[in-house]
Structure 1
Amino acid sequence: MRLTLPTILTLFRILLLPVMVVVFYLPFRGANLAAAAIFIAAALTDWLDGWIARRYGLTSAFGAFLDPVADKLMVAVTLFLLVQQNPTPMLAVTSAVIVGREISISALREWMAEIGQRTRVRVALVGKVKTVVQMVALVVLLHQHDFSELRLYRIGEYLLVGAAILTIYSAFVYVRAAWPVLRDHQ
């Protein structure tokens, strides 16, 4: 297996996760800002690896497998950190919805690929919008600070609820697209 630049960027994104976790817990002023910056760097590599792969024809089966795994790990680990730090019912429920959807839709995509129907559940626009809202929410929540009159953390919570709603809707879109195949393979 030859590692392409997009796959190396994806592996780098996975390696940033334990770094973000350690920085998140370090007892220094600005650790939360540093953790948010690491998350942003990881999110940017997510965009960059896809762009490079498509632009320069550097796609690979391993990269196609690894990229969504890295995305799910990044989101799940960050949500776990945030819920552990601020264990509110709202944050726990939205995190459970997001992680549960990610696992379920990943399983659906895997099964659809196994039976040769992967194109029915390819990424839709609503999934991309959900990802952007989710990433912005997570950065804001990792940052953890409000600015004078701007309740930034509360905005992050609202964005995460919005991401959870989009998560449910996008799951519905994927299941609806797969439904004819699911119905026929009972």
Structure 2
Amino acid sequence: MNIPNILTSLRILLIPCLVIVYYLPYKWSYLAAASIFALAAITDWFDGYLARKLNQSTAFGAFLDPVADKLMVAVALIMLVETYADIYVTLPAAIIVGREIVISALREWMAELGKRASVAVSMIGKIKTALQMLSIFVLLLAEPHTELAYVGLGALYGAAVLTLWSMWIYLRASWDDLVQDI
């Protein structure tokens, strides 16, 4: 275990803390849950930075990092969908989670073909992730149906648009391989 892998593991351990704190019956629970999510998001950036800077990239870290990210985002979105119980939150959440499933499967399949590099993370994917993390942070922080919540919802829609755009880029890059067996 190295520092980047410890940070990634910490992100996974923060998931049950996020859920428990979010549902506590106290006014400060939204702030605390948003803070836990922010800590997880920061460790996401920091573990990648340290892995490159300290030359501590590992196969285990390459596997675990995206799993930790997807778990944290999916759990947070599920909580928000339940809290808002509204199509306006459910639709972008479904787009984001659905894209993650599709692209994860695509990356695995392309890796089996020896072409994983054609579906490597792009800059648009990084921007999508940053906006997605920001939107979830704001939605966790805000009381539902407040001005701040609507700002978070706008950011979530922006993340959903970038999600579709990045999915299109990945699918286009691998299209010839996808359709060769049809």
Equivalent residues in 2 for 1:5-24 (5 A)?
5-24=3-22
1:125-161 residue CA offsets vs partner (Å, 9 max, x unmatched): 1100100110110010001149xxx821101001101
Compute the RMSD of aligned alpha carbons.
1.2
> CA deviation digits over 1:38-82, x for unaligned, max 9?
000000000000000001110011100000000000100000000
The letter for the 2-side match of 1:152 is: L
State the Cα deviation string for residues 148-179 of structure 1 (Å, max 9, x = none). Answer: xx821101001101111110010000000111
Unpaired runs of 5+ residues, structure 2, are none
Question: Tell me, what secondary structure is at the counterpart of 1:58?
Answer: coil
CA drift of 1:118 comes to: 0.2
Offset from partner CA, 1:86-143 (integer Å, 9 cap, x none): 1101111111110000010000001111110000000001100100110110010001
CA apart distance, 1:5: 1.1
Verify: 1:161 aligned to 2:162, yes or no.
no
1:93-132 equivalences in 2 (<5 Å): 93-132=91-130
Find the counterpart in structure 2 of residue 67 from structure 1: 65
Amino acid at match of 2:24: L
SS at match of 1:9: helix
Which residue of 2 is the match for residue 184 of structure 1? Answer: 180
Aligned AA (1:161) = Y
Q: Which runs of 5+ in 1 are unaligned?
A: none
> What is the CA distance between 1:183 and its match in structure 2?
2.6
* Structure 1 residue ranges, 4+ long, deviating more than 6 angstroms after superposition: none
Partner of 1:171: 167
Distance in structure 1 (CA, Å) of the matches to 2:88 and 2:143: 19
What's the secondary structure of 1:166's corresponding residue? helix
Number of aligned positions between the proteins: 181
Does 2:47 match 1:38? no
Normalising by structure 1, we get a TM-score of 0.94
Sequence identity (%)? 51
